[in-house]
Amino acid sequence: MMLLLLLLQLLLLLLQQLLIMLLLLLLLLLLLLLLLLLLLLLLLLLLLLLLLLLLLLLLLLILMLLPMLLLLLLQLLLLLQQLLLLLLLLPLLMLLLLILLLLLLLLLLQLLLLLLLTQLLILLLLLLLPLLLILLLLLLLLLL
């Protein structure tokens, strides 16, 4: 019976180690996702700089060429406006993602705390079990 209890305690310890490894893996994945979002923001900023350079070149062409290019410039300005709106919305989305990541981390910490509390309760029960057996034996001896 003690062997079974020891095996149960070993299994609980292994489950705890597995949960800790899964938590660390999830945290690493979340950090990688955040890094990917930062790289995407950098890429969008580079695209914005490229569009600004293109607009300057088009402005020079307008000064030299026909006024019909002015319509194309207006379309590009509208595209730039949409891109700027996207760049303004991206930090908001990143903040929302960061809040969600923090909430997920809090949930994982709660799960870890619950696991530790259950393990402490099982350990306490395992410590109290021999005392209960001794009391039962004493009671049987008194009855005899």
pLDDT of residue 66: 74
* Choice among 29-38, 41-50, 60-69, 82-91 with the minimum mean pLDDT: 60-69
Quick one: which of 43, 47, 37 has its CA closest to 83?
Answer: 47
At residue 93, the pLDDT reads 92
The answer, yes or no, to whether residue 62 has pLDDT greater than 80, is: no
What's the rounded mean pLDDT across residues 6-31? Answer: 96
Q: Could you report the per-residue pLDDT of 83-135, keeping only the tens digit for each?
A: 999 989 998 999 999 999 999 999 999 999 999 999 999 999 998 999 999 99
Q: Where are the alpha helices (DSSP H) in the chain?
A: 2-64, 69-143
Q: Can you say whether the dihedral through the CA atoms of 89, 40, 54, 75 is positive or negative? A: negative
**Mean pLDDT calculated for residue range 39-43:** 97
